[in-house]
A and B are shown apart, each in its own frame.
Chain A
């Protein structure tokens, strides 16, 4: 089975802190994604990557950056966390040319 593992299920951070969310997939997938999910707004794409060291902005990249140094690992970075970044963050992966996404369990971030 495809497994996408997110490093933290729950995090509480203070405004201005730097936050790292890590995601690892074990199916040798080319594509990896970071979404945030908020009630009433659905899934919103932050960044995606189609290859190592490659990244593309999604719909809401402001305030976020990403890193993909290895094929299996995709990290989301909040350089200076703000309260409006309190959300559920979901990582996903997919094979080249396929549309089926496999999601991790999610990381619920609270910024105080």
Chain B
């Protein structure tokens, strides 16, 4: 069974304090790993797809990286507007196209 574990559950940072969120996964062959951002009371918004170990994607202050067992979402010099819940999901190769989601990391960036 595919599993996705995100840590920490919650993270508080000061503005400008860089950090990383972790997504550990167990899947029988990875087809893709996805990161989403979810603002309170809204639906998740797609951020990145990573397909193979060593791949990196960047968007503004966010950089996602992938190894064979985990992915990191690095946040460089965060701002209060980066506050959100970040969700990770994996899709297994050769199986159902339905992604398995982690429970997310709630990030709060204080000014």
Chain A residues within 8 Å of B, Cβ to Cβ: 4, 31, 33, 40-43, 45, 48, 50, 58, 88, 90, 92, 94, 97-106, 108
Contact = CB atoms under 8 A, between A and B. Distances in A.
Interface residues of B, number: 21
B43 interface: yes
Interface of B: 31-32, 34, 36, 41-46, 49, 87, 89, 91, 97-99, 101-104
Most buried by A among B31, B41, B44: B44
A42 B43 contact: no
Given A105-B43, A106-B41, A100 B102 contact: no
B41 A101 contact: no
Nearest to B102: A42
Given A100-B46, A103-B44, 5 more contacts: A4-B43, A33-B98, A58-B98, A94-B97, A99-B49
Top 10 closest A-B pairs, CB basis?
A: A103-B43, A99-B91, A42-B103, A99-B32, A43-B101, A106-B43, A103-B44, A99-B99, A90-B43, A100-B46
A98 to B, nearest CB: 7
Most buried by A among B31, B89, B98: B98
A99 B43 contact: no
B98 A43 contact: no
B43 A48 contact: no
Most buried by B among A42, A94, A98: A42
28 contacts: A31-B97, A40-B103, A41-B103, A42-B104, A43-B87, A45-B98, A58-B98, A88-B41, A90-B43, A92-B43, A94-B97, A97-B97, A98-B97, A99-B31, A99-B32, A99-B49, A99-B89, A99-B99, A100-B34, A100-B49, A101-B36, A101-B89, A101-B99, A102-B46, A103-B43, A105-B43, A106-B41, A108-B41
B98 A42 contact: no
Contacts of A88: 41
Given A43-B87, A106-B41, A101 B97 contact: no
B46 A106 contact: no
Most buried by B among A43, A48, A99, A106: A99
